[in-house]
Structures are given as structure tokens and as C-alpha cells.
């Protein structure tokens, strides 16, 4: 089928991928948007997997101050070379991630940072709810798995829907930049400060 420029533009808006990648994905998916998005995700993930063995020791520390100084965020985003670190695209992405952290207040960077104790506490809450709802025990595991996925989306930066484009996650945003630059890119750490919040000892 004919792939129009409007279709390419729409897919690009949804995924943040490059024009040629969007055109290729739509052609491969026969114009089916959902399949094209899956195609791009797989491509981005495979590019990310290939690059993940490369050391990401360059990068930038981006900051964002919100609400007249009531919320401040610092984010360290790493890449392989100074050349990519200085590009407008990389700097803009790092700034966008800092702004996202200010708005979405993630507790963790990614799911594997959540302690076994914290996860077990969550699961126990879900089990109590399922007991209350009198759901059959044989389907508990499946339901708990779905609830945990939603929990990760709420509290982990890489799993959260990106505030400037909710069709993608922050993790997909980074994977798209990996596919675009050909370098390993990772969010290393972040810190969020809110005026007057209780400091955990």
C-alpha cells in the first residue's frame, strides 16, 4: 500500500523515531500503525541491546527548576562520546527527562532497583485486596503480575509514560536516541528536591 507523508508524520509524532525509520516500519507493517510501532520498538530495543555492552562514560548533568524554585531536579544521562553529549538532541532529551522527573516524581530509576522487601510488601497488599474481593486463588498470580506492571509504571522513571508524548515511555525515549545516535545511552541517576518536603533519614 502507498505510505503517505501524513502517515509517516503521525507515526513519528507517536514514537519519536526518525522519518526514514517510520517509513520503513509502515512499509513493513503494511500501513498498520500498531504493527509499525511494534516494529520500531523491536528495532530500538535491538539497537539498544547491541550498544549496551559499550561503556557510557560521557554525557551531561541536566537540571530543571519548576514553580518559581519550589521543585528542582538534577539528572545524569550518559553516552559514549563527547560528540553526542554536545548535540542539541541529546541535551534536549536530558532536559526533558529532568522536567519529566519534576512532574512525575518517580521513586526509582528502573524496576530492578526496587528491593525484594518493598516488592513483597506490594504483593501482600494485592493479596489482601484479592482476598477481600473473593477472587479465586488460582488467578491471583496473573492479577498480581498485572498490578506489579502498573506499579512499575507509577514509580519507575524508565517505565513511566513520557509527559511530552504519552504514547511512549521514558525508556523508549532513551532507546529511540540510542537508535538515532548509534551510541549506548543510559540514565545513570536523578535527584528531586521539593521545598519543605520531609527529609528521609
CB 152 within 8 A of CB 159: yes
| pLDDT for residue 88 | 95
Residue 73, Cβ neighbours under 10 Å: how many? 22
| pLDDT for residue 29 | 87
The residue extents of the domains of the chain are 5-51, 58-109+156-194, 115-154
Retrieve residue 156's grid coordinates. Answer: 519507575
Alpha carbon distance 27, 23 (integer Å): 6
Its CATH architecture, for the domain 58-109+156-194, is 2-Layer Sandwich (3.30)
Q: What is the CATH number of domain 5-51?
A: 1.10.8.10
Tell me if the domain spanning 115-154 has CATH number 1.10.286: yes
Across the chain, mean pLDDT equals 87
65 in helix, strand or coil?
strand
For the chain, list residues with pLDDT below 50.
Answer: 46
Amino acid at each position: 500500500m502507498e505510505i503517505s507523508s501524513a502517515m509517516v508524520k503521525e507515526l513519528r509524532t507517536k514514537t519519536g523515531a526518525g522519518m526514514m525509520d517510520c517509513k520503513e516500519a509502515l512499509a513493513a507493517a503494511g500501513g498498520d500503525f500498531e504493527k509499525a510501532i511494534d516494529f520500531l520498538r523491536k528495532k530500538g530495543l535491538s539497537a539498544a541491546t547491541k550498544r549496551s555492552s559499550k561503556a557510557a562514560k560521557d554525557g551531561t548533568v541536566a537540571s530543571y527548576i519548576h514553580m518559581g524554585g519550589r521543585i528542582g531536579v538534577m539528572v545524569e544521562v550518559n553516552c559514549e562520546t563527547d560528540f553526542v553529549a554536545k548535540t542539541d538532541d541529546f541535551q534536549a532529551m536530558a532536559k526533558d527527562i529532568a522536567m519529566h522527573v519534576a512532574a512525575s516524581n518517580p521513586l526509582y530509576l528502573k524496576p530492578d532497583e526496587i528491593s525484594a522487601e518493598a516488592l513483597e510488601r506490594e504483593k501482600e497488599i494485592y493479596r489482601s485486596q484479592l482476598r477481600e474481593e473473593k477472587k479465586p486463588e488460582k488467578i491471583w498470580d496473573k492479577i498480581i503480575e498485572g498490578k506489579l506492571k502498573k506499579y512499575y509504571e507509577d514509580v519507575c522513571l524508565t517505565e513511566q509514560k513520557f509527559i511530552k508524548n504519552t504514547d511512549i515511555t521514558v525508556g523508549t525515549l532513551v532507546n529511540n536516541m540510542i537508535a538515532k545516535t548509534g551510541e549506548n545511552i543510559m540514565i545513570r541517576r536523578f535527584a528531586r528536591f521539593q521545598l519543605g518536603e520531609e527529609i528521609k533519614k
